[in-house]
Amino acid sequence: MDRKRIGELVRSAREAAGLSLRSAASRTSGTAFATWQQIESGRNNSTVDTLADIAVALGMVWTIDLSPQAPRDARRQLLADRLVRVIDRLDERDLRLLSGQVDAYERELGLHGQSAT
């Protein structure tokens, strides 16, 4: 995972927790405000210790998976299975919103109106 994506995930988790950058930084034992800024902007190549400190401050679970990457078809199937579990739990409003997003992706990919088979 690249620095930019890590920064996006950290920012998203911080915002979901309702914390300002300064208040989130104050919750960590060894991660300065400036370091948080650099991480969230994708300019910091953080250590595992720093990212673990941030995860704890945000109430996140941090895992590192060093297993070999699944082949592309297996990854697609895992994602499809996860999506089905999520879709099964959506209410009607969220299902309509998701359906609209899928329609947009289909149009973007030139798939709109085509059979799913």
Superfamily of domain 3-57: lambda repressor-like DNA-binding domains (1.10.260.40)
Note the pTM of the prediction, 2 decimals.
0.55
Token readout for 86 is 């999520």
Each residue's pLDDT, cut to its tens digit, for the chain (117 residues) gives 788 989 998 999 899 889 999 999 999 888 899 999 999 999 998 888 898 889 888 888 777 777 777 677 888 888 888 888 889 888 999 999 999 998 888 898 988 766 654
Residue 33, class by beta-carbon neighbours within 10 Å (0-12 exposed, 13-18 middle, 19+ buried)? middle
Token readout for 102 is 């899928």
DSSP alpha helix (H) spans, 1-117: 3-16, 21-26, 33-40, 48-57, 72-88, 92-108
Whole-angstrom distance between the N-terminal and C-terminal Cα of the chain?
32
> What is the Rg, in whole angstroms, of the alpha carbon atoms belonging to the chain?
18
Instruction: Give the domain ranges of the chain.
Output: 3-57, 72-108
**What secondary structure letter does DSSP report for 111?**
-
